[in-house]
Structures are given as C-alpha cells and as structure tokens.
Amino acid sequence: MRRSIPFLLLLILCGLAYAQGKELTYRWLYLSTNLLVEENVDEAIKIMERAARVGYNGILLADYKFNILDRMPKRYFQNAERLKRKAEELKLDIIPAVMPIG
C-alpha cells in the first residue's frame, strides 16, 4: 500500500492539471529493470514504445547496477546502448535514477 501512495498522488496531480486545461510539460514513466538481462531490455523497449505512443516524453530509468558500473560486463553496456538508441528514436529522454536510498 505504501508503494502505491506516490503513484496515487501523481494521478491526482495529473487529473488536476488536466481538469484545469494545462498541458503537462513532463510526462515521465518510471521504469525499473535489470539491464544485464537481454530479455528485460526487450520488455523495456516494448514499454517505451507504448509510452511514446500515448504521449510520454521521458523515462525515469532505475537499475541497481548504476551503483556498481565498474563491475559490469561489456554486455551490460551494450544492452544500455540499445535502450538508449531506442529512446532517441522514440524521442524519449532517459533520466537515470541514481543514489537510491533504502
């Protein structure tokens, strides 16, 4: 339940902005994934395509491995690059979630 509170607040704020006829400047999707696993990147790309179709313009990308990049194999960076290229193609900004607490 505690995890859904921020999401519910976001929905309320979006609803208020919509009701007032204001265009939202930032429409971001929170995407938490493990970029080391190629299948996860495939699934993330599907989510990104869907988000772009409905008007999202950014992705807040979370992966715990952002904290340990010095230990990641080459394939991690290849997967990240593939995701980055797709985001550019879809005109989605990628905002990395860094410094996780908890």
- Between CA 32 and CA 35 the distance in angstroms is 9
Whether 17 shows a pLDDT value over 70: the answer reads: no
Segment 9-30 shows an average pLDDT of 73
This prediction has a pTM of: 0.75
Contacts for 83-88 with beta carbons within 8 Å, 24 or more apart? 83/35, 83/41, 83/44, 83/45, 83/48, 86/45, 86/48, 86/49, 87/48, 87/59
- Between CA 50 and CA 3 the distance in angstroms is 23
Give 4's pLDDT tier (boundaries 50, 70, 90): low
3-state helix, strand, coil in the chain (%, to 5): 55, 15, 30
Of 2-11, 55-64, 72-81, where does mean pLDDT reach its minimum?
2-11
